[in-house]
Structure 1
Amino acid sequence: MQVPKASDAAKARFTSVVPDDPRVVVKPMFGNLGAFVNGNMFAGLFGDRIGVRVLDESARAELAAVDGAGPFGPDERPMGGYVAVPVAWDDEPDRIAEQVSRAFEEVAAMPPKAPKTRRPPRTRS
């Protein structure tokens, strides 16, 4: 599976629509970006597409029904619970920011993600 890399313009667009909140952490993921709150991702960039996590199924279906919206992530294995905002909205950052903010609020209400426990290294005999 080839993971598309985000352009500098897409990265700038993404960071401009992420809420300015001290709980938000934006970090690189496979050449793209992800926005997290309490360890849970609420928005991401895959190639030049911005995707948001929508917890409510009816709201997810409503956003997915907008012309140009669609699955988020690789075609072979899109991320469940996420919707890619319509490409036509690339020139409407306020519409994207509204969806990203909604995703942030929903995901911020979730319990914090438990940190992964690391297994001790194996010793060779």
Structure 2
Amino acid sequence: MQLAKASDDAKALFASVVPDDPRVVVKPMFGNLGAFVNGNMFAGLFGERIGVRVLDESRRTELAATDGAGPFGPGERPMGEYVAAPSAWSGEPERLAEWVAQAFEDVAALPSKAPRAPKRTKR
């Protein structure tokens, strides 16, 4: 499976819409970026698309119905509960930032994700 890589412009847009909050951790993921709070991802960058985790089903349906929105992640395995924002919103960062901020607030209310145990090495 070929994974889309994010451009520097897409990374800069992503950084500009992620909330400036000490609980936010932005990590590289497969050549892209993910924004996490309490160990849970709330927004991601996949290629040139920014996706947000929308926990409320009616709001997820609302965003998915927006012209240009779609599934988020690899075409073969889109991520559940995530919607890719319309590409046209790259020219409307404040609109994109509102959805990212709402995703942050919703996901921050979830229980913290326990860190995975380190992988054991073979001897």
**TM-score, normalized by length of structure 2?**
0.97
- Taking the TM superposition and a 5 Å limit, the aligned residue runs for 1:1-125 are 1-123=1-123
Larger Rg belongs to = 1
Provide the identity percentage. 75
Q: CA deviation at 1:119?
A: 5.0
**TM-score, normalized by length of structure 1?**
0.95
Q: For 1:66 and 1:117, how far apart are their aligned partners in 2?
A: 40
Farther-moved stretch of structure 1 (113-122 vs 70-79): 113-122
Aligned-pair RMSD on alpha carbons?
A: 0.9
Q: CA deviation at 1:117?
A: 1.7
Q: CA deviation at 1:7?
A: 0.2
Give ranges in structure 2 of 5+ residues lacking alignment. Answer: none
Aligned to 1:51, the other structure's residue is in SS state strand
Q: For 1:73 and 1:44, how far apart are their aligned partners in 2?
A: 9
Q: CA deviation at 1:12?
A: 0.1
The C-alpha deviation readout for 1:28-82, integer Å capped at 9, x for no partner, is 0000000000000000000010000000111100100000000000111100000
